[in-house]
Amino acid sequence: MIKRLRYIAHFYSESFYFAYQALKLNKVRAFLSLIGITIGIFSIISVFAVLDSLKSSIHSSIESLGNNIVYVQKWPWEFSNDYPWWKYLSRPVVTVDEANEIADRSAKASSVVFMAKSMKNVEYNKIEIKDVPLIIADYDFDKVRSFEIDKGRYFTPNESKSGVKKAIIGATLASILYKSDNP
C-alpha cells in the first residue's frame, strides 16, 4: 500500500515537474494558451448572460399582456418583410357588436374589451403634437392593460356607455400640452 502511494506521489510530482519545465521553456505558448482559455470562458459566460437577459425580457413582455388574455384583431401582431400583408386586407374589422356578442356568449370571460387604434394630431392652446398613438377603448380596458393614473381619475361605466368624450393621456403628453395648466 505504501509502495503504491509512493508511486502515485512520484507520478504526480514528475507530472508537475514536466508541466513546470514546459511552462518555463515555452512562455509565449503558455501565455497565449491561458489568454485563449480566458477569452473562451468569458465568451461562454457572456453568451449565457445575454440569453438569460433576453429570456427574462421576453417573459416580462408576455407577462405584461397577462396570462389569460386573447386578442381578436384584423392584422397580425407584428409584420416581417416577407409577410403577405395583402391577405389581411380581406379580413373584416372587429366591431363593437361582435365584442358584445363575445361577452354575452362566453361563460369563462371575465372581461371583454373593444379597442381600436389610430394615430391623431393632438392640439391644446396652440400647441400641436402630430401622430400621437390613440387607443379607443371601453370601460374594462384597465382589466387587460395595466397602467397607473398619476393625476385625475378613470372614466366611469356610464361615461363609457353614453359616449362622453373623455380621455386618459400619458404623463409625457400631458406635460408637453398643458405645461403649468391643470388638465
Residues 34 and 115 in one domain: no
Quick check: 99 and 139 in contact, CB under 8 A? no
Query: What is the overall mean pLDDT for the chain?
Result: 83
pLDDT tens digit sequence for 61-81: 767 666 667 777 777 777 777
- Four-point Cα dihedral 28, 34, 35, 40, nearest 10: 150
Q: Which of 98, 77, 96, 97 is nearest to 88 (CA)?
A: 77
Residue 55 falls inside a structural domain = yes
pTM: 0.49
Residue 79 falls inside a structural domain = no
pLDDT tens digit sequence for 147-182: 888 888 888 888 877 877 778 888 888 888 887 776
- DSSP 8-state code for residue 155: P
Residue 78 falls inside a structural domain = no
Average pLDDT of the residues in 21-37: 87
Q: Which of 76, 75, 71 is nearest to 144 (CA)?
A: 71
More confident residue, 145 or 36: 36
pLDDT, position 26: 86
pLDDT tens digit sequence for 97-107: 888 888 888 87
Residues 27 and 91 in one domain: no
* Residue-number span of the structural domain to which 150 is assigned: 85-178
**Quick one: pLDDT band at residue 35, thresholds 50, 70, 90?**
very high
Residues 139 and 171 in one domain: yes
Q: Residues near 68 by Cβ (< 8 Å), separated by ≥ 6? A: none
Neighbours of 132 (CB within 10 A): 16
Q: From the centroid of its chain, how far is CA 161?
A: 33
How far apart, in whole angstroms, are the C-alpha atoms of residue 97 and residue 112? 12
Residues 59 and 137 in one domain: no
Residues 172 and 99 in one domain: yes
Residues 94 and 164 in one domain: yes
Residue 92 falls inside a structural domain = yes
pLDDT, position 67: 62
Number of domains within the chain = 2
Residues 114 and 173 in one domain: yes
Q: Which residue has the cell 509565449?
A: 28
How far apart, in whole angstroms, are the C-alpha atoms of residue 10 and residue 36? 31
